[in-house]
Structure 1
Amino acid sequence: MPAIIGAALMMQTLNATVIANALPAMAEAFGVAPLRLNIAITIYLLATAIFLPLSGWIADRYGARRVFLTSIVLYAVGSVACGFAQTLDQMALARFIQGAAGAAMAPVGRLVLLRTTPKNELVGAMSVMTMPALLGPVIGPVLGGAIVTFADWPWIFFINLPIAAVGLVLAWRYIPDIREQGASRLDPLGIVLTGVGLACLIFGFETLGRDQANPVAVVGLFAVGLVALALYGRHAARTPHAVIDLSVFRKKTFNASVVGGAFMRIAMGANPFLLAMLLQVAFGMSAFAAGLMTFVSAVGALVMKTTAPPILRRFGFRSVLSVNAVIVGLSFMAYALFRPDWPHWAIMVVLGVGGFFRSLQFTSLNGMAYAEIKQDQMSRAATTSSMIQQLVQSIGIGLAASLLHGLMRYQGETRLTAAVVSPAFMIIGAVTMISMFWFLRLPKDAGDEMNGRAPR
């Protein structure tokens, strides 16, 4: 079952890595600047953030399998619409459909796993679930680069169709129809407040990455978003059936995983965008050559999935997360050293090592998050975690585009060069290390129940 859920999630990871590699070709087809194509990534995250608050409630009300299957179908429909898009506006609308479908796919799949797996087996089960999903980043850059170089960019979306077909058959046959008995009442006010708040913040960060961002509009978006989320905080304190259960943040392991881990996920949101700009635009590589470079990072991540559980049993969540946060930050900073005359094998080694340790970090974060969560909180905890992940990834993309614009102006450049892109990796690497302040405050035995670690 974890492998089947992961296979469906592979559509999302495959699409994410493929589209990052195809941005320059898509920009040329639409007649816009490459940096403007960050909206193709951000609008997906925007739609996901809007519909995520509903995912847990819908799964409890109508059954996880039905919702999971419906999300696969809608994702395939959105993929077809993306492939036939003729303008940037049409692409944005099609990506919105994809994002709305993806809003249910990941949290509902995770919810099924959380409710059917004993806690001491959850880290291993999540590793199995994410292994098929990691095939997307492994084959995505190479496949996307080959399609863009030798065919045409619409095929990067059409390749989702056979994956969706196989996923539908397997999920229909093997995924149990999990639903909460006596599902809570719908919280329409909470859904509106969280949807408006997250949408304004995500679109605000996307606007920061535009060539001619209106400062008043940007400030207005952030203000509306923060006010809406603040109002939701007051609403949730007085509403037992609030769509997002804020009490889960009182759990140290969940707080460290979601809030501390957010700084890691900001970097993960920025990384594919920055690498595409560096290798293709600044270095002048073809999409296929850049794909061959970056796929090694995902290979390293896939290798780590088999070694993460024993590492966590040996050293524990706190030690692994704290030490590895420094390693991951330094790996991002190392990307700033890349130059056009570097041998390709050297770039691939650095990317592979970085992918290896980032995978360990996210396996640890995902496994520890639910250590103190009770069964009746699982649905809203999974939804809350997914919402914040989407928000911070959009922050990463907006931050990356904003950094590139700022660095171009500071250096007086009119186009992207290695000297412009490289400092952005240094800043992103420093951001990831902020997460250590949450990890170091964890108890030594934090999450030991999740990885079967013997008491010491």
Structure 2
Amino acid sequence: MTDTAIKKYLPWVVATALFMEQLDATIVNTAIPSIAASLHVTPLSLKSVVTSYILSLAVGIPISGWMADRYGTRRVFGIAIAIFTFASVLCGLAQSVPMMTAARLLQGIGGAMMMPVGRLAIIRTFPKAELLGAMNFVIIPALIGPLLGPTVGGLIVHWVSWRAIFFVNVPVGLVAMYLVFRYMPDYRGTERRPLDVVGFILFSCGTALLSWLLEIFGEHTLEPSTAAFMLVVSIALLVAYGWHASGIEFPLLRLALLRIRTFRVAVLGGFVTRLGVGGLPFLLPLLYQIGLGLPAWKSGLLMMPTALAAMGMKLVSQRLLARFGYRQILTVNTVFIGITIGLFALVKPGSSLTLIVMLGLMQGFFNSLQFSSMNTLAFADVSPGDSSMASTISSSFQQLSMSFGLAAGTLVAGWFLGDIPQTNRGMVTTALHSAFVALSVVTILSSLAFWGLRREDGESISKGTKVAPPEEAPVAT
């Protein structure tokens, strides 16, 4: 297996698995009513089917880097895809809610290993001068998966059965496993570090509890006092992890990496930026279906321009970053994202379809440029020996930011909608317009997070500028 073959096919391997994971994360939401009818339960009782997947991701991601270092990227990534595919079959065969929940938990464990380990293989395979192009290719499935999920799910449920939603993963998973066997390099850590069991328990329990609270945010099934207590517990667990990690030689997540300026700005700045962007998947369907009165399938189709623009972005992003640099791109592009979010307040009953499509294209282009920039900048100054740890930390923060973003969208929508009946289309539309403006302001302000960058930051990636020799090289077999 030559380096040329690995570089040619590895992005396809990672992109295929990532698309399967991201699509599955959202496709099930559309099928909830059909699943509930089939299993003879109420739709609300299926909340555990959605949250169980999120919890598994929160628990599994922190340990993924350690597993890749210990057992190798090829084995861990291949097993992750196998677990995900097998769990998909179990989901499709489930005859009860507990069976479905258990299968989704298992599916989440497989999914938790895919993103950080796949990205780790990309980082260790491509030199920094080629990393942006490779990451651009891989990031597209992560952007279009959540957009296609509701549309594809609705069509499958309408024409076939909700069980087919999970069975479609089988051929994709088999192809992905074959590609892993042929083209996935087997990188391992240069030292055998012990598993930080205490840290794993503290961090995983804290992030899982926090993710769960954010996932059910706004529901009335949890008393405010209980929710507040659980929030305090989750934060206490995470603080306890920080204290624990600072005093041992091999922590689960080495937070000292956040001292690297580019890594810190990319990870924490990305976290803040996603607070505004993460609310759009919740708000846009409300605008299209309730505000404009469109059926679900038409609402899904209006998300397609965003996916197309995201794919087109990769043709120009490298040239933009080479011309303007990461600091200027991230500070200005974040403002453009905020303005685009605010422009959705112009969409109302009778609005031109051209306006909606243009806003979708703008959203897809700016979001894709933003995420490609943040995801590559994070590794600009990280040594090869720290890439596994950096990938795990970055993935953990991204998982939390997705939950925070969805909670932010729910909070803003709930604040402006209040007790407005959904039958009052005009008032609902006005309230949603206010929500878009609020998220727009939050996103524009988040551009301040990138002011800490220097003009030359990230040039090792955007321009291929030579950097100091790495402290240690990865081991591949």
What TM-score, normalized by structure 2, do the two folds share? Answer: 0.87
Residues 141, 153 of structure 1: alpha-carbon distance in 2 compared, 3 angstrom cutoff: same
Letter in 1 for 2:264: N
Q: Distance in 2 between matches of 1:341 and 1:82?
A: 41
Q: Distance in 2 between matches of 1:402 and 1:415?
A: 20
Residues 438, 406 of structure 1: alpha-carbon distance in 2 compared, 3 angstrom cutoff: closer
- Where 1:445 maps in the other structure, the secondary structure is coil
> How many angstroms does 1:247 deviate by?
0.8
Q: Distance in 1 between matches of 2:146 and 2:350?
A: 25
**Higher Rg of the two aligned structures:** 2
Which residues of 2 match residues 232-251 of structure 1 at below 5 A? 232-251=241-260
The equivalent of 1:301 in structure 2 is: 310
Q: Distance in 2 between matches of 1:65 and 1:436?
A: 37
Equivalent residues of 1:208, 1:218 under 8 A apart: no
> How many angstroms does 1:101 deviate by?
1.2
The equivalent of 2:130 in structure 1 is: 121
Q: Distance in 2 between matches of 1:28 and 1:153?
A: 11
Letter in 2 for 1:143: V
Residues 178, 431 of structure 1: alpha-carbon distance in 2 compared, 3 angstrom cutoff: same
Q: Distance in 1 between matches of 2:270 and 2:329?
A: 13
> How many angstroms does 1:84 deviate by?
4.2
The equivalent of 2:432 in structure 1 is: 421
Deviations 1:354-386 (A, max 9, x none): 111110000000110011111221111100000
Equivalent residues of 1:38, 1:397 under 8 A apart: no
Q: 1:58 aligns with which of 52, 67, 92?
A: 67
Of stretches 89-98 and 23-32 in structure 1, the one that deviates more from structure 2 is: 23-32
Q: 1:324 aligns with which of 318, 333, 340?
A: 333
Residues 300, 37 of structure 1: alpha-carbon distance in 2 compared, 3 angstrom cutoff: farther
Q: Say yes or no: does 1:190 pair with 2:199.
A: yes
Residues 58, 326 of structure 1: alpha-carbon distance in 2 compared, 3 angstrom cutoff: same
Q: Distance in 2 between matches of 1:91 and 1:383?
A: 28
Q: Distance in 2 between matches of 1:216 and 1:255?
A: 34
- Structure 1: which 5+ residue stretches go unaligned? none
- Where 1:238 maps in the other structure, the secondary structure is coil
Q: Distance in 1 between matches of 2:373 and 2:358?
A: 23
Q: Distance in 2 between matches of 1:24 and 1:86?
A: 15
Equivalent residues of 2:273, 2:447 under 8 A apart: no
Of stretches 261-270 and 365-374 in structure 1, the one that deviates more from structure 2 is: 261-270
> How many angstroms does 1:91 deviate by?
4.5
- Structure 2: which 5+ residue stretches go unaligned? 1-9, 467-477
Deviations 1:384-426 (A, max 9, x none): 0000100110112223233333333354768884344333332
The equivalent of 1:73 in structure 2 is: 82
What TM-score, normalized by structure 1, do the two folds share? Answer: 0.91
Identity %: 36
Q: Say yes or no: does 1:174 pair with 2:183.
A: yes
The equivalent of 1:437 in structure 2 is: 448
> How many angstroms does 1:43 deviate by?
3.6
Of stretches 275-284 and 341-350 in structure 1, the one that deviates more from structure 2 is: 275-284
Q: Distance in 2 between matches of 1:209 and 1:134?
A: 26
Equivalent residues of 1:137, 1:298 under 8 A apart: no
> How many angstroms does 1:17 deviate by?
4.5
Letter in 2 for 1:290: S
Equivalent residues of 1:336, 1:426 under 8 A apart: yes
The equivalent of 1:289 in structure 2 is: 298
Equivalent residues of 2:130, 2:464 under 8 A apart: no
Letter in 1 for 2:268: V
> How many angstroms does 1:178 deviate by?
1.1
